[in-house]
């Protein structure tokens, strides 16, 4: 008998399924989807981007029910800054 049931809707891979077209970035929609499915933001940090011509947010997400962790890279923009301030107590600059 299974002692733990994994709900497919909570798995990280299901959050990355295709979405409807939108004016929002796909990473922003992925973060919204993760929060909606029970993931929580543990920490976010403003880091230099890979091309060194700006900065991005490195966000650590955690799913308590399964003990899973995931990192997400998000561009710096006002929508993401507002969302991180609402859902994250640890924002490193």
How far apart are alpha carbons 53 and 72 in whole angstroms? 19
How far apart are alpha carbons 6 and 66 in whole angstroms? 8
Average pLDDT along the chain: 78
- Tally of domains in the chain: 1
- Confidence (pTM): 0.70
Among 15, 23, 10, residue whose Cα is nearest residue 64: 10
pLDDT tens-digit readout, 20-63:
666 777 788 888 888 988 999 999 998 888 777 788 899 999 99
Q: Please state the φ and ψ torsions of residue 9, each to the nearest 5 degrees.
A: -65, -20
Residue 35 maps to a domain: no
Residue 20 maps to a domain: no
Tokens of 82: 């507002």
pLDDT tens-digit readout, 54-91:
888 999 999 988 889 999 988 888 888 888 888 876 66
**Residue appearing with tokens 């004016």:** 23
The domain of 54 spans: 44-93
Residue 86 maps to a domain: yes
Length of the chain: 93
């Amino acid at each position: 008998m299974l002692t733990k049931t994994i709900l497919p809707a909570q798995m990280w891979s299901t959050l990355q399924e295709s979405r409807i077209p939108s004016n929002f970035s796909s990473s922003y929609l992925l973060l919204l989807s993760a929060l909606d499915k029970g993931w929580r933001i543990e920490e976010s940090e403003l880091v230099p981007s890979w091309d060194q011509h700006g900065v991005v947010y490195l966000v650590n997400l955690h799913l308590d029910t399964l003990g899973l962790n995931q990192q997400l890279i998000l561009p710096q923009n006002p929508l993401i800054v507002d969302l991180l301030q609402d859902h994250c107590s640890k924002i490193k600059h």
